[in-house]
Amino acid sequence: MSKTRIIVAGPRGRMGLEAVKLVANEEDFELVAAIDRKYDGYIVKDIDGMPSLDAPVYTDVEACFEAVEADVLIDLTIPEVGYKHSRLALEYGIRPVVGTTGFTKDQLNELQQLAEGKGLGIIIAPNFAVGAVLMMQFAKMAAKYFPDVEIIERHHDQKLDAPSGTAAKTAELIQEVRHEKKQGHENETETIEGARGADVDGMRIHSVRLPGLVAHQEVMFGASGQTLTIKHDSYNRESFMSGVKLCVDEVQKIDTLVYGLENLLQ
């Protein structure tokens, strides 16, 4: 069987480096290029801290897609760049697996249309950790019975987007089963702006950013005389890699956009 030919965008990042290591360690995967904004013309193994791989590095994405035959692009960058990479990848017949968070609904719709037009798969997964996906699913189940809910996500202080993609996705899943409800006292006021967090149909999202954290989320439900808390912690970035591998395998079998790893789990 031939190997899956993979391009990683963002290879020096916290997640990108872990993804490069995954590709290096999987027998069925081959790194055919990396997209990096600083090391144009290098070979991956010549960049400090990278595994010993001979794949070329490109800064110009189109030049990369023109020159390199690839099956899958793994994107772990920033939203504007990840969106641009995904569009171009689809144009070039390469299937994107996107971990980058912060895409807008319009961007998701556009990518879905493009993927379907081309008959290609694309997977956008706000969280690749299986435990986090289960946490979101359990939260959705609980929200049917507990409409009062606050999401508290905690991340390292280098994270750019707030709320996290996982929190946004959790809120979307809860919205599917929860009727809009303003929580808290009807006359509550914020004496310091933002004290009650972000408001999604009346439910609240709180984003904590501190050094020392990796990626953590609690979904807390309350009802008369009881609370229920569903919690997930990622203590390192390896926790995301089995999900990345699953997405690389699955994206080659589909011809539309899949948003969320839960859609791939049996």
Does the annotation list 93 as a binding residue? no
The answer to whether 218 and 152 have CB atoms below 8 angstroms apart is: yes
Q: Is the CB of 21 or the CB of 118 nearer to ligand LZUJQKHR?
A: 21
User: Is residue 159 within the footprint of ligand LZUJQKHR (CB under 6 A)?
Assistant: yes
Helix (H) or strand (E) holding 96: strand 95-98
Rounded-to-integer distance, Cα 96 and Cα 33, Å: 14
**By C-beta, is 215 or 221 nearer to ligand NDP?**
215
Nearer to ligand LZUJQKHR, 5 or 245 (CB): 245
Question: Shortest distance, CB of residue 255 to ligand NDP, whole angstroms?
Answer: 22
Of 4, 77, 86, 101, the residue at the interface with ligand LZUJQKHR (CB under 6 A) is 101
Q: Quote the least distance from Cβ 14 to ligand LZUJQKHR, whole Å.
A: 7
Q: 99 a known binding residue?
A: yes
The DSSP-derived string for 27-91 is TTEEEEEEE-SS-TT-BGGGSTT--S---BEESSHHHHHHH---SEEEE-S-HHHHHHHHHHHHH
Q: How far apart are CA 208 and CA 205, in angstroms?
A: 10
Report whether 10 belongs to an annotated binding site.
yes
Residue 159: active-site member: yes
Q: Which of 4, 77, 86, 217 binds ligand NDP (CB under 6 A)?
A: 77
The catalytic position among 85, 140, 155, 169 is 155
Closest CA to 139 of 151, 157, 122: 151
15 is in an annotated binding site: yes
**Is 84 considered catalytic here?**
no
Residue 11 preceded by cis peptide, ω within 30: no
Distance, CA of 131 to CA of 177 (rounded, Å): 21
Q: How many CA atoms lie within 13 A of 146 on its CB side?
A: 20
- Which of 43, 81, 228, 254 binds ligand NDP (CB under 6 A)? It is 81
78 binds ligand NDP (CB under 6 A): yes
CA gap 227, 239 in Å, rounded:
28
List residues bridging with 183 in a β-sheet: none
- Does residue 207 interact with ligand NDP by CB under 6 A? no
Give the footprint of ligand NDP on residues 118-137 (CB under 6 A).
125-128
Binding of residue 155 to ligand LZUJQKHR (CB under 6 A): yes
Q: Is residue 217 a contact point for ligand NDP (CB under 6 A)?
A: no
- What amino acid positions are annotated as catalytic residues? 155, 159
Site of interaction with ligand NDP (CB under 6 A):
10, 12-16, 37-38, 76-78, 81, 99-102, 125-128, 161, 165, 240
